[in-house]
Amino acid sequence: MAYKHPLSNSQIACIILLWAVLMIIILRRAVLSGPTLVSMFMATVLLAYPIIKSIRQRRNK
């Protein structure tokens, strides 16, 4: 299913910056155990999917 409107470049940049801040906070304060690494990986995948989908949708137009 396609999005109504793909994300703009500024929206993508904002999402990536917020993700980077979250990862920095986690890396500084959390103990790097298995569940922490899995949650970081899942957050990355859940973030990357809509961004990649939005970029592909803009290219096809």
Tell me the pTM. Answer: 0.79
The C-alpha atoms of residue 40 and residue 33 are separated, in whole angstroms, by: 11
* 43 contact partners, CB below 8 Å, separation of at least 6: 19, 22, 23
Q: Summarize pLDDT for 12-24 with one digit per residue, the tens.
A: 999 999 999 999 9
Q: Summarize pLDDT for 21-57 with one digit per residue, the tens.
A: 999 999 999 888 999 999 999 999 999 999 999 999 8
For the beta carbon of residue 6, count every other beta carbon within 10 angstroms.
19
